[in-house]
């Protein structure tokens, strides 16, 4: 979406002079400013906070949440919600751990996890679109189903000891300057890039926005509403499964109590990232920033050492409230 095509033949100087970020980018810009501000404040207050490795750790510790938030962004943009992703993460870690324990090839195990997650998402999407069940209810059912399946496989935690998995988990990528990161971060960032491209530049992506903007209109415009509505839940299911694999690598275990309530963190990140809960407005980049803001709050608390970790929840709650109110005011002014 280029906003510069407005003027027929503007000089470069004209473009620079008259450039102002379009109003639709404002929420993302606000989240970015918030993130920079928090990081700056941390840097002033605590020694070593601004070390690039702190930022890299932030990505590392939240890679799975980034992937979840990406999938959630698709769903929320279409005007829906997906409550099942936390449970799907737990199910994914469990399937991976169990199949590896049974001696499956690690690659087959990964593919199985991704297929199961995508199928679960597709199933919920089909229910939501064709039976016209509210997304909240359909995915709530998905939440219980996935968590229940996890218990069915095992109530105990199963460690992941497979060589490929552990190598992947510990392998670090050295960056210039002696910093390092992991493959999980690369996967998470790649997911963001692919999702951003799909949303901005494909017919599927733009139809997601159209459906979120006005589903009845999208149908009358002759757009493929059914494919998109089922598709976003399939994508969210895939992302939850991928996030589950990353979480499995992070914890090296499969456990039925993994990721309890993580769907709410993902939703919070998407909303703080400036995506409207009513659908149609928002960007994947915002969701990435939303996850980073959530992560920074945690980093803050661990750097401080004296603050109770429950402050994380309180700050997240307050931020969420502020962002929802601001969004409401912004959209009200437009209409």
By the criterion CB under 8 A, which residues form the site for other proteins? 1-6, 22, 24, 197, 201-203, 206-207, 209-210, 212-214, 216-224, 280-281, 334
Q: Which is nearer to other proteins, 114 or 208 (CB)?
A: 208
Return left, alpha or beta for 261; rule: phi > 0 is left, psi -120 to 50 is alpha, else beta: left
**Alpha carbon distance 256, 151 (integer Å):** 6
Q: Which is nearer to other proteins, 41 or 221 (CB)?
A: 221
| Identity of the residue, 203 or 313, whose beta carbon is nearer to other proteins in the bound complex | 203
Q: Residue 182, SS3?
A: strand
How far apart are CB 136 and other proteins at their closest, in Å?
A: 22
SS3 4: helix
Q: How far is the CB of 194 from other proteins (least distance, A)?
A: 12
DSSP string, 49-77: TT-HHHHHHHHHHHHHHHHHHHHHHHHHH
8 Å CB contact between 125 and 234 = yes
Q: Which is nearer to other proteins, 159 or 213 (CB)?
A: 213
Q: Cα separation of 52 and 123, whole Å?
A: 42
Q: What angle do CA 65, 69, 70 make, to 5 degrees?
A: 120
| Shortest Å distance, C-beta 257 to other proteins | 39
Q: Which is nearer to other proteins, 1 or 12 (CB)?
A: 1
27 vs 244, which CB is nearer to other proteins? 27
Q: How far is the CB of 201 from other proteins (least distance, A)?
A: 4
**Nearest-angstrom CA–CA distance, 128 and 232:** 11
Smallest distance from the beta carbon of 6 to other proteins, in angstroms?
A: 5
Q: State in angstroms the smallest separation of the CB of 27 from other proteins.
A: 13
Residue 224 Cβ vs other proteins, minimum distance, rounded to whole Å: 8
Nearer to other proteins, 212 or 295 (CB): 212
Which tokens in the block code for residue 164? 């490929």
Place of tokens 């909303």: 271
Pick from 137, 243, 146: which is nearest to 192 by CA? 243
**Under 8 Å between Cβ of 60 and 181:** yes
């Amino acid at each position: 979406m280029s906003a510069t095509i407005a003027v027929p033949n503007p000089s470069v100087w004209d473009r620079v002079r008259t450039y102002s970020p379009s109003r639709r980018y404002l929420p993302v810009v606000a989240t970015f400013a918030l993130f920079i501000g928090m990081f700056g404040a941390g840097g002033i207050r605590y020694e070593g906070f601004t070390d690039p490795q702190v930022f890299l750790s932030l990505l590392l510790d939240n890679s799975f949440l980034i992937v979840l938030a990406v999938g959630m962004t698709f769903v929320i943009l279409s005007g829906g919600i997906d409550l099942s992703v936390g449970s799907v993460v737990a199910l994914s870690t469990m399937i991976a751990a169990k199949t590896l324990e049974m001696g499956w090839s690690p690659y087959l195990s990964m593919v199985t996890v991704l297929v199961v997650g995508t199928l679960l998402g597709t199933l919920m999407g089909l229910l939501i679109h064709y039976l016209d069940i509210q997304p909240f209810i359909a995915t709530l059912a998905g939440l219980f189903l996935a968590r229940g399946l996890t218990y069915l496989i095992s109530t105990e935690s199963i460690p992941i000891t497979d060589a490929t998995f552990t190598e992947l988990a510990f392998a670090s990528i050295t960056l210039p300057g002696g910093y390092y990161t992991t493959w999980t971060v690369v996967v998470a960032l790649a997911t963001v890039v692919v999702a951003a491209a799909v949303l901005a530049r494909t017919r599927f992506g733009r139809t997601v926005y159209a459906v979120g903007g006005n589903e009845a209109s999208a149908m009358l415009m002759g757009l493929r509403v059914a494919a998109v509505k089922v598709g976003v839940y399939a994508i969210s299911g895939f992302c939850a499964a991928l996030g589950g694999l990353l979480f499995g690598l992070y914890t090296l275990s499969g456990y039925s109590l993994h990721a309890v309530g993580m769907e709410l963190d993902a939703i919070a990140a998407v909303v703080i990232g400036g995506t409207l809960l009513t659908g149609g407005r928002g960007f994947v980049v915002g969701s990435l920033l939303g996850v980073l803001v959530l992560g920074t709050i945690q980093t803050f608390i661990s750097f401080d050492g004296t603050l109770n970790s429950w402050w994380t929840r309180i700050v997240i709650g307050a931020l969420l409230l502020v962002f929802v109110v601001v969004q409401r005011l912004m959209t009200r002014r437009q209409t």
